Amino acid sequence: MGKRYLLTNDDGIYAKGLNTLYRELSQDADCLVVAPEVEQSAVGHAITLFRPIMVRMARKNGSTIGYAVKGTPADCVKLGIRELSDRPIDLVVSGINLGANVGINVIYSGTVSAATEGIIMGVPSMAISLDARREGDFGFAARFARKLARLLVEEKPFEGMALNVNIPSLPEDEIKGVVVTKQGRARFMEDFDKRVDPRENTYYWLAGDTRFSDHEEEDSDACALNKGFITITPIYHDLTCHEAIDSLRNSTEAKDIFSNLLKK
Amino acid sequence: MGKRYLLTNDDGIYAKGLNTLYRELSQDADCLVVAPEVEQSAVGHAITLFRPIMVRMARKNGSTIGYAVKGTPADCVKLGIRELSDRPIDLVVSGINLGANVGINVIYSGTVSAATEGIIMGVPSMAISLDARREGDFGFAARFARKLARLLVEEKPFEGMALNVNIPSLPEDEIKGVVVTKQGRARFMEDFDKRVDPRENTYYWLAGDTRFSDHEEEDSDACALNKGFITITPIYHDLTCHEAIDSLRNSTEAKDIFSNLLKK
């Protein structure tokens, strides 16, 4: 029996990036699409606990394209693996997102959360994003995803981590190479736009643009992507600041601090 | 001028845990409450981009208690720091959550996302959760939070990281101590409960319970909390699997793998 991939995204089941991915990956594997009914950008790693999750078969031009879920990308991955597939999933692929997922902003990303959820569920997973603004040519990104997907399921070289992949929006022959990066510190510098509605209630719009932080490191995702490289960042579920752990544990000062906290 | 703390949570502005925290912390600082209008559990690190965020002054028994936000905990922190406070915030405190935030589940946590957002905005931050199910006595947790808060603003010992604090639900004299932990692998083992609505549409409820993984490490948050310790896990915004980076970068095999991906 051939491989089965689970495809999802955060832009919604009718998004062009997902469709291009499907057409490319289905040449290698049986692809099950389970994606949000509506756009879920910036949902972070949300899951739906307090309401039922509606699921329906979505159709386009008369053919079924997959399951449309009234939920988040992480819901889609959980449901796809646990309920909607009649056999084991070999790989979760999330994307292709329109817009890069790099830097601090990764923690707001629905696209990336789907890959993280896949890894939590024990399935090799990748998120793939194209660094384009309003429109992009997903063709090269989809072909790259297909090769990487084949590698992930055949050789399983990256156990226990998902891959967060970003593709520059450049003609194929201008792409500089593939580099392993870490999640950098690029972030949105937001402002709020304050308004008053016709009934005199106050509301705010989150506004702002991506900018890179001043202290961006050379080996960060945003930096390498900006230079024209495809970036691959290994990620998992862990937010621990590991560099801090040892110093906190070994410092006498820290021990005093903590024991003093329990004094009455 | 005294210190100003920003208080938030994910259980909503009228939650008892937040109220207890407010009563305790406002003995030391001017506390600005900016919290979700309705419960936001399991929202992950979501922010609201595609609709306006309504904000109103919330009242209880005739007095104002803070800003109620139709948004996520991360929205509350961003808004509180950028818009709703007329002076700089010295500390973000999120909680007190009813229920522990440990293990893999931390990435679904609205409580913890508020503290991570605070750190992203450059403000010392902590999340505080009580390991109780339906009801808990928040008194000790609030007093502990007050001492830790004072430490964070006066000595700033933990630059660049937020603290994810979990308090056992035990009588004060049975608490074993305070330990620095890492985010472990404890997780919900979910199932979906499949149902059909009166109009024959399919829907699912996410069901399940916390269990600890078989491979839980001794120095993990869930493990130490279970033994009766207060756990303090330093966290930040980074999902990178740092242990993987070096081996991926230095392995000849990995280099070959990546350069082959670009071959036509």
Q: What does the pLDDT look like over B238-251, one tens digit per residue?
A: 999 988 888 788 77
Q: Judged by CB atoms within 8 Å, which residues 142-181 of A form the interface with B?
A: 144, 147-148, 151, 155, 157-158, 160-161, 164, 175, 177-180
Residue of B nearest to A67 (CA): B202
Residue B196 has pLDDT above 90, yes or no: yes
What pLDDT is attached to residue B156?
77
Q: Name the band, by pLDDT with cuts 50, 70 and 90, for residue B203.
A: very high
Q: Which member of A43, A242, A259 has the closest CB to residue B46?
A: A43
Cβ contacts (< 8 Å) between A240 and chain B: which residues? 182-183, 233-235
Which structure tokens are listed for A133? 């603004």
Q: Are B6 and B80 in contact (CB under 8 A)?
A: yes
User: What are φ and ψ of residue A124, in 5° steps?
Assistant: -55, 140
From residue B121, how far is each of A102, B32, B158 by CA, in Å?
A: 17, 17, 15
Give me the pLDDT at residue A42, please.
Answer: 84
pLDDT exceeds cutoff 90 at B83: yes
Residues of A in contact with B58 (CB under 8 A): none
Q: Residue B255 pLDDT > 80, yes or no? A: no
User: What's residue B215's pLDDT?
Assistant: 64
Beta strands in A61-103 (DSSP E): 63-69, 91-98
Nearest chain A Cα distance for residue B222, angstroms: 13
What pLDDT is recorded for position A207? Answer: 84
Beta bridge partners of B203: A54, B195
pLDDT bracket for residue A215 (50, 70, 90): low
Contact B245 A180 (CB under 8 A): yes
Higher pLDDT, A24 or B253: A24
Averaged over A154-169, what is the pLDDT?
Answer: 90
B194 touching A (Cβ < 8 Å): yes
Picking from A82, A242, A253, the nearest residue to B182 by CB comes out as: A242
Cβ-based contacts of A182 with chain B (< 8 Å): 238, 240, 242, 245
CATH number attached to the domain at B4-184+216-261: 3.40.1210.10
ipTM, 2 decimals?
0.92
- On average, the pLDDT of chain A sits at 91
8 Å CB contact between B119 and B153: no
CB contact under 8 A, B238 and A237: no
Residue pair A71/A110 in contact (Cβ under 8 Å)? The answer is: no
Left if phi > 0, otherwise alpha if psi is -120 to 50, otherwise beta: which for A70?
A: beta
Cβ <8 Å between A232 and B258 = yes
| Cβ partners under 8 Å of residue A115, min gap 6 | A92, A94, A125, A126, A127, A162, A163, A164, A235
Collect all residues with Cβ–Cβ distance below 8 Å to B50 and sequence separation of at least 6: A39, A41
Backbone angles phi, psi at A63, to 5 degrees: -110, 150
pLDDT tens digits along B103-140? 999 999 999 999 999 999 999 999 999 999 888 899 99
Residues of B in contact with A261 (CB under 8 A): 144, 147-148, 151, 178
Q: A74 vs B263, which has greater pLDDT? A: A74
Helix axes A139-155, A16-25, angle to 10 degrees: 50
User: Strands B177-180 and B63-69, how do they pair?
Assistant: unpaired
Q: Are A236 and B236 inside 8 Å of each other by CB? A: no
Report yes or no: A77 and A6 within 8 Å, Cβ to Cβ. yes
Mean pLDDT of chain B: 91
pTM: 0.94
Please give the structure tokens belonging to residue B103: 């293990």
Vertex A162, ends B232 and A31: CA angle to 5°? 140
Q: Per the CB < 8 Å rule, is B161 touching A235? A: no
Residue A66 pLDDT greater than 70, yes or no: yes
Helix orientation angle between B139-155 and B16-25, rounded to the nearest 10 degrees: 50
Measured in whole angstroms, the distance separating CA B17 from the mean position of its chain's CA atoms is 13
Q: Which residues, in sequence order, are CB contacts of A14 under 8 Å at separation 6+? A: A58, A60, A65
Asked whether residue B154 carries a pLDDT value surpassing 70, the answer given is yes
Distances (CA, A) of B120 to A26, A107, B77: 40, 11, 10
Q: What was the pLDDT predicted at B211?
A: 58
Chain B residue with minimal CA distance to A159? B244
Is A254 in Cβ contact with B161 (below 8 Å)? no
What architecture is the A4-184+215-261 domain classified under in CATH?
Answer: 3-Layer(aba) Sandwich (3.40)
Domain ranges of chain B: 4-184+216-261
